[in-house]
Structure 1
Amino acid sequence: MAGQDWLDKDFYKVLGVSKDADDSVIKKAYRKLARANHPDQNPGDKAAEERFKAISEAYTVLSDAEQRKQYDAIRAMGPGGFGGFGGFGGGRGGSGFGGTGFGGASGGFSGASFEDILGAFSGGRRGSASTGTGSFEDILGTMFGGMNAGGNPGFGGSTGGFGGSYGTPTKGSDIATSVKMSFREAAEGATVKMAVDGKNMTVRIPSGVSDGKKLRLSGKGRPGTNGGPAGDLVVTIMVDPHPVFSISGQTLQMKLPITLAEAVLGAKITVPMLSGDQITVKIPAGSVSGNRLRVRKQGLEVKGKRGDLFIELDVVTPQKHSKEAIAALEAYAEATKDWDPRADFKATLD
């Protein structure tokens, strides 16, 4: 059960982040560690493989708001959290699990209130602990995987709870892993082979995935207990960067360098594509760096629909110029001397 495992694992320490780290810090730490310890980068290194598994598991939990909330609540119990439950009446030596009540000296919550723990495991619901299907049954089913305490039917009667005839069905824990792909594979989609918990699997990665994208494969995680469903396999995609193109779903993006003359006068430019084909792009006269052009239906095909290509213009000039080029630029400067490109900039300072 994930709850019991989490007590012994410090996911924040694994990723080297503080407990109040935000999502961006956690993601940055994960990417750095995952790349350094990825099996492809460390063939035959079992220690690196184990570190990679631990890093992936930590990221899967901490990058999911709900799982992180439950993890923090469980860790707040302390090492004796699961063993420190007492009688539910609050009296010492009660008829519960044989200790003090939730607030007693022998409890294992280490400062976490019962309402905090209950809220974390029941999505913020607060139920009654008296009769019927009270929330104690739900929380214990979640924490102990449906384990019964023994004895006669208690909360919930014969359907479970304390001393019920069977435990609560509990979903199995998720398995976290990652896969490294070339930019072309990410753009076009690919079938990849991976080893998960000692088993070889073949997974189809759809086209248009970007670096850091997480794919959740339902039912491919660890088996559930008491008839509960299996957990999921969470695959984080690591895409090698491309020097020209980038991916955003169906959209393909690129930065296109153009000359000063092409920007001023306009031009038609041949642009190579990932597929090996070439397209002709018209640069409007008077273009500047940062202008974006949209070329329809030249993006990526995702789920049967093709997206667009967005081109960002980047006006560049050579570092060295011939005498003729300098003379032409001087003539250009003279012809445009009445134009002040910083007029608006100066106005904001007045």
Structure 2
Amino acid sequence: MSTKDWLEKDYYKVLGVSKDASAEEIKKAYRKLARENHPDQNPGNPEAEKRFKQVSEAHNVLSDPTKRKRYDEERSLFGGGFRFPRAGQGGAGPSMEDLFRNAQGGAQGGVGDIFGGIFSQTGRRGATRGPRRGSDVEGEVTISFSDAADGVTVAMQMVSDAACDACRGTGARAGSLPKVCPTCEGSGMATTSTAGGAFAVTEPCHDCRGRGMVVEDPCPVCNGSGRGRSTKQMNVRIPAGVNDGAKIRLKGRGGAGENGGAAGDLYVLVHVTPHPVFGRKDHNLTVTVPVTYAEAVLGAEIDVPTLGGMPVRVKVAPGTPNGRVLRVRGRGVQRSDGTRGDLLATIEISVPGEINEEARTALQQFARASGEANPRSELMARAR
């Protein structure tokens, strides 16, 4: 019978006796249940056959004083009814066969030996202090609207956690050296056991805080931590088309790692100052271009500004209404593939605040000559 079965099955419940039942009570209960569920008494009844096997299994354990003692001890340790996840459930881990391989037969190999072996594999003798990844560093940069559209390289001053310059990361005062931690013997990990040694847990050593070394004469600069503040200048490339509020990740440009660990990452938060003329819609630039009433009615060719370049000439068709958008191909923001978006020019008809008498007379003559219908008549009709 495997230890797995012992932990998952309540044999006392199967026989219907208490945990302090005598050997005679166990024997009597077994005979009664075996007689009731024997296959000869219940031909063709699979439930009775299953029950008979359970009763026989329970009697086999509880009738043997040695097996019963081990069964009681191991169920008491885990509170009874303890269930292990099957292999493949909840992530990787030892399979049930591996976990209980050493639990078969004999009273000497108890659960304490099983779990002690599993969790002490990273104990003080075999363990070594592993590499530690450096910390991530965050910075901010403010760039112009034009630089955001075309991309730019900016100089940044980065402050991060690094090895102390005074002690070169040892944490000890100059001229002295740290010593191997006597608690974890330099592994950085310590193993503690529960009462009786049944369960072993490995965790970072409290005395050296996982470093594996202790400092008797600490460095006055870093107070024995071995870490200090590092300030360095670096050039950071901001890609073309970046948006305001974007966060750029630069892998491996953050704080230095320990014990051969990889460096952390640098995250740059980008702020883009607004432009007085241009706006953005994804990779398209937007601009509002005023035209006169005459240009809108008669048509014209007008100059439209571009970002960082010469103006482009755009044709305004006769009868162009206010708010029409004219598209200029390839004059927008650069994409990642090197192509550019478009420039979207919105026409805004400019109405003069004051006109002279000659212009007034001309407009009156235009109104009479054009014979325009009331443009609000349809609106009024629909509003009724």
Higher relative contact order (CA 8 A, sep 6+): 2
Report which of the two structures shows the higher radius of gyration computed on alpha carbons. 2
Q: Whose strand fraction is larger, Structure 1's or Structure 2's? A: 2
